[in-house]
């Protein structure tokens, strides 16, 4: 209930005013059944506008720290992120990474929509960085369709490093589901997941026209 209350009554009107958002290609998202929405990531606002403009409810996997903060602020954050469809997962590494993939698999097996940013974090310079393989591992294992999502303008509405939101123009482009048949015929291993992820990032780069950087966000090129 809170998800749709935020979407249509509380946060939605403010987001519409600030970002004047538009969407194209929404027909590429299946009306029912499991689907992975994989997109570029420019700002925290990306998730808000995705939830606002996509009719189906989207579930994201969020850092468990958002749900474990103490005090009044912590209770508010837990309530807010839960209301916005976020699921807490320990993403510190090791077994935690597998826990995140298991959670994503459960979302899809329940027929839900899983939203993910393969770069793993926001781009601080507007470039598109190398994708991490988790999304495609889950896609290849479950057979869930992967729909590329390209967002633009959120970096103006919600600049990285600023607490203040501004007026801008947000646009979402929803691409056609990826053809993963060449990868589904292979054993599901790191090589297949890496190749499928590189294909996903190539599609995102073509749609977004962002400069591609072949190393992970947050790391210096070697």
Q: Are the C-beta atoms of 109 and 36 separated by less than 8 Å?
A: no
| pLDDT, position 69 | 63
- Per mean pLDDT, which of 67-71, 86-90, 99-103, 213-217 is the most reliable? 213-217
pTM of the predicted protein model: 0.88
Q: For residue 174, give the H/E element and its range.
A: strand 171-174
Say if CB 30 and CB 24 are below 8 A apart: no
**What tokens appear for 204 in the block?**
């995102």
* Averaged pLDDT, 92-118: 84
Q: What is the mean pLDDT of the chain?
A: 87
pLDDT-based confidence at residue 107 (cuts at 50, 70, 90)? very high
């Amino acid at each position: 209930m809170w998800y749709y209350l935020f979407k249509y009554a509380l946060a939605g009107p403010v987001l519409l005013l600030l970002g004047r958002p538009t969407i194209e290609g929404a027909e590429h998202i299946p009306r029912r059944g499991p689907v992975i929405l994989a997109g570029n990531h420019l700002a925290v606002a990306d998730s808000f506008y995705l939830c606002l403009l996509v009719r189906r409810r989207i579930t994201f996997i969020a850092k468990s720290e958002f749900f474990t903060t103490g005090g009044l602020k912590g209770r508010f954050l837990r309530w807010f992120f839960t209301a916005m469809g976020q699921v807490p997962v320990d993403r510190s590494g090791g077994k935690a990474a597998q826990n995140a993939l298991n959670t994503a698999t459960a979302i899809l097996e329940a027929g839900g929509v899983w939203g993910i940013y393969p770069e793993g974090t926001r781009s601080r310079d507007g470039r598109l960085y190398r994708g991490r393989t988790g999304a495609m591992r889950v896609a290849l294992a479950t057979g869930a369709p992967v729909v590329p999502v390209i967002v633009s303008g959120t970096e103006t509405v919600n600049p990285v490093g600023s607490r203040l939101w501004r007026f801008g123009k947000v646009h979402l482009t929803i691409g056609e589901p990826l053809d993963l048949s060449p990868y589904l015929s292979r054993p599901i291993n790191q090589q297949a997941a890496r190749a499928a992820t590189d294909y996903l990032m190539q599609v995102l780069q073509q749609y977004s026209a962002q400069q591609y950087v072949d190393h992970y966000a947050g790391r210096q090129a070697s």
